[in-house]
Amino acid sequence: MTYDVIIAGGGAAGFFAAIQIAQQDPSLHLVILEKGKDVLNKVRISGGGRCNVTHAEFIPNELARNYPRGERELRGPFHTFCSGDTVDFFEKRGVPLKTEEDGRMFPVSDSSESIINCFREECRKLGIEVITNCGVNQVLEFEKYWELDTAGGTFRSRKLLLATGSSQKVWRMLSKMGITIVDPVPSLFTFNIKDPRIQGLMGLSSFAGVRIPEAAIEAEGPVLITHWGLSGPAILRLSAWGARALNALNYHFKIHVNWMYPENRESCLELLREEMEANPKRTVFRSKTFDLPKRLWQSLVEASGIDRSLKWADLSRKQMNRLVDELTDCVMDVHGKSTFKEEFVTAGGIDLKEVDFKTFESRKFSGLYFAGEILNIDAITGGFNFQNAWTGAYIAAKAIAQAP
């Protein structure tokens, strides 16, 4: 079977690219080949079934700052197709989006099915062929075309777009062709911690500064205490920016939490002294908690070796210092990681140096394009991973449609 364009992978990037190509050049004969028996599976389960389509950050360079891998390379592409263009695309097709307080954007319907139906409807209108149960096993390059050996037979095309997500098998196949693959490691995970200071406090959340000196990374934001350890935006940010370094540490490291952030040791000491002077007769345990959840404050007071009945006036200098340590530099051992709400992405994939980001074409093979998670690009949680898929797919599609 011969086509002008073959798209391998019926996921977010594959569908978006197919629609863009068919719209820009309806004369092109194109097909989506999907390994599974169904398409768009990740879109369906994404965002807890609501699909966090993109993020309400409309300035290209600011948007790019959310990508631990790909920040530099995506700046240019975001100037061509940014989150505002994603909003436009869906709104024009009857799928309005809404913005949540933290900037995440979802379909107003709160259902990922709206996105899937939109793609299916566009494919139907544009006559895009989709073949399922058709995993690509091998890709061969001939002088003027690509030949694909698949579970559904042999396919040929002039242009080939690989949008197979984080498929290890495809990465191995590409590696054999001489394309450099950066080793995949997980990103977006929470930290497993067994520590008496947070035992029994699950559900509490506090704004904190967190850092992992062994990996030279730090972040700030809400930290959530869970049954297993620590989670929340600040922890997820560390897991994304430190994906590779934390993997190298085998997920065993020390995390330093400043529960008083943005205060530092000195300013925290000052606050405690003021409290001591203002309420000398109050017990430290039951004292004002400086924006900290009460039970967390009490746990840290006890961890500082301060008796529940001790009054501020009787607090020794040593105890005061210990309390400041617990509040601003609470060190905990992390032993392993857990998945965050089943959401995860893979850090790793096609080495970005081998991709021309004006076209998303391989620098090594002409007529071969990539989009989505197959590339060594990934982001923190918030809709950014899909935005990478939409942007890459749009630019690759434009290049394919305009190529001779």
Ligand X SMILES: Cc1cc2nc3c(=O)[nH]c(=O)nc-3n(C[C@H](O)[C@H](O)[C@H](O)COP(=O)(O)OP(=O)(O)OC[C@H]3O[C@@H](n4cnc5c(N)ncnc54)[C@H](O)[C@@H]3O)c2cc1C
> Considering beta carbons, is residue 9 or 209 the nearer one to ligand X?
9
Residues 6+ apart with CB under 8 A from 310: 283, 284, 285, 319
Q: How far is the CB of 267 from ligand X (least distance, A)?
A: 37
Amino acid identity of 285?
F
Sites for ligand X among residues 6-45 (CB under 6 A): 8-14, 33-36, 41-42, 45
DSSP secondary structure, 52-103, as one string: --EES---HHHHHTT-TBTHHHHHHHHHHS-HHHHHHHHHHTT--EEE-TTS
Sites for ligand X among residues 300-359 (CB under 6 A): 342-345
Residue 113: φ, ψ to 5°: -60, -30
Q: Report how far apart, in Å, the C-alpha atoms of 396 and of each of 125, 232, 388 are.
A: 21, 34, 12
H and E: helices and strands count for the chain: 13, 21
Cα–Cα dist 223/247, whole Å: 21
User: Does 386 participate in binding ligand X (rule CB under 6 A)?
Assistant: yes
> Considering beta carbons, is residue 130 or 332 the nearer one to ligand X?
130
> Considering beta carbons, is residue 367 or 372 the nearer one to ligand X?
372
Q: How far is the CB of 358 from ligand X (least distance, A)?
A: 20
Q: How far is the CB of 382 from ligand X (least distance, A)?
A: 7
- Paired with 170 in beta bridges are none
> Considering beta carbons, is residue 297 or 370 the nearer one to ligand X?
370
Cα–Cα dist 309/3, whole Å: 79
Binding mask 42-71 for ligand X (x = CB under 6 A): x--xxx---xx-------------------
User: Does 385 participate in binding ligand X (rule CB under 6 A)?
Assistant: yes
Sites for ligand X among residues 110-149 (CB under 6 A): 135-136
Q: Which stretch binds ligand X (CB under 6 A): 87-95, 158-166, 249-257, 357-365?
A: 158-166
Residue 127: φ, ψ to 5°: 70, 35
Q: Is 392 helix (H, G, I), strand (E, B) or coil?
A: helix
> Considering beta carbons, is residue 304 or 381 the nearer one to ligand X?
381
User: Does 232 participate in binding ligand X (rule CB under 6 A)?
Assistant: no
Q: Which residues contribute to the site for ligand X (CB under 6 A)?
A: 8-14, 33-36, 41-42, 45-47, 51-52, 135-136, 163-165, 167, 169-170, 342-345, 372-374, 383-386, 389
